[in-house]
Amino acid sequence: MPGLLKQSIALLRGFLITGRYLFRPPVTVLYPEVKTRVAPRFKGRHWLTRYADGVERCVGCELCVIVCPSQAIYVRAAENTPERQVSKGERHADQFQINMLRCIFCGFCEEACPTGSIVMGQDYELAGYSRASLIYTKPMLTEPYPGASGRDPGREV
Amino acid sequence: MSPRSPEREGAELERRVLTTTVERMVAWARQSSVWPASFGLACCAIEMMCTAAARFDLARFGSELFRASPRQADLMIVSGRVSQKMAPVLRHIYDQMLEPKWVIAMGDCASCGGVFNNYALVQGVDKIVPVDVYVAGCPPCPEALMYGFLMLREKIGAGGGRR
């Protein structure tokens, strides 16, 4: 009989824990409706940033291509001409592609970039129905207006 | 479309009265109970487990049942790198799953080999099984996987992805 009593108390203690959790707010994040906030230094999708006056920062030096451990970046540089001055250096990126399926989001490209052109944003919603749809080209990567990526367009690097 | 075209009236009627085609009802039922196979390969599997756990709770979309048997599963989440030795096993599991079945290539390694561009790994799981949704990230955070999963749900709901 004492064994039965002991077991009943153990059972009730177990239910007490269940009951306590019943009145706590749920821990579940309602993801598609409520976007969870990521850490401020989260490394998400890339942006090619602009200066405050709208000139592209990328000078087509291909240092990000060299440093990328998974060879996810392709850059084809072109010379700037007096008629068509795209960036502030001698060259600019004519083609700039990042394969999001190759990229491991390590941030080396961001560190290597001498003009601070390439930055990692906060967006993590990267999925697609085909492999080709996740190769981001220059129009997709370049921020639509200075500061669209969330970085200060007036910063030095 | 003019304001009173037959198509628009049909759509309006369908919205107000509970009628639908069998095909759409089946698609709705399928997208609301996609059971994944409990099958993890590498670090992405940790994020996959996290997606199914209480904080992100894949059960909200009817996918809480990670089936241990591929014969009871509808979805294979290839979570991690697939080595050349693992490839026939993966194909075997895929063949054991019953139709209709879907595949999510989760993360970089499953999608295209990722950082491991070498002879030991299959460069993209779509070389051995047909993939419906590719999710980028290394590993993708649970929200990113859920985003890919919702894309798959949309595809199933539209009646796509059947082979």
pTM over 0.90: no
Kind plus residue range of the DSSP H or E element containing B23:
helix B22-31
Q: Which of A96-100, A147-151, B121-125 has the lowest mean pLDDT?
A: A147-151
Q: Which of A90-99, A100-109, B58-67 has the lowest mean pLDDT?
A: B58-67
pLDDT in tens, B70-111: 999 999 999 999 999 999 999 999 999 998 899 999 999 999
Chain A hits for B126, CB-CB cut-off 8 Å, are: 131
Contact B137 A105 (CB under 8 A): yes
Q: CA of B111, closest CA in chain A: separation in Å?
A: 6
SS3 A65: helix
Give bridge partners of residue B67 from the DSSP assignment: B37
Contact B144 A124 (CB under 8 A): yes
Nearest CB to A105 within list B132, B138, B148:
B138
Which chain B residue has its CA at the smallest distance from A123's CA? Answer: B144
CA distance B78 to B60: 21
Residues 6+ apart with CB under 8 A from A135: A97, A98, A99, A100, A101
Across the A:B interface, residue pairs with CB atoms under 8 Å apart total 90
Phi, psi of A104 (to 5 degrees): -105, 10
pLDDT in tens, A33-74: 888 888 888 999 999 999 999 899 999 999 999 999 999 999
Contact B147 A69 (CB under 8 A): no
Spell out the alpha helix ranges (H) of A23-59.
none
Please report the domains of chain A, with CATH numbers, ordered by start residue.
46-141 (3.30.70.3270)
Residues 6+ apart with CB under 8 A from A35: B143
Which chain A residue has its CA at the smallest distance from B141's CA? Answer: A124
What is the per-residue pLDDT for B49? Answer: 92
Contact A126 B135 (CB under 8 A): yes
Q: Is the pLDDT of residue B2 over 80?
A: no
Mean of pLDDT over chain B: 88
Q: Which of A9-13, A16-20, A150-154, B116-120 has the lowest mean pLDDT?
A: A150-154
> Of A61, A145, A134, A55, whose CA–CA distance to A102 is shortest?
A134
The residue written with tokens 């009817």 in the block is B62
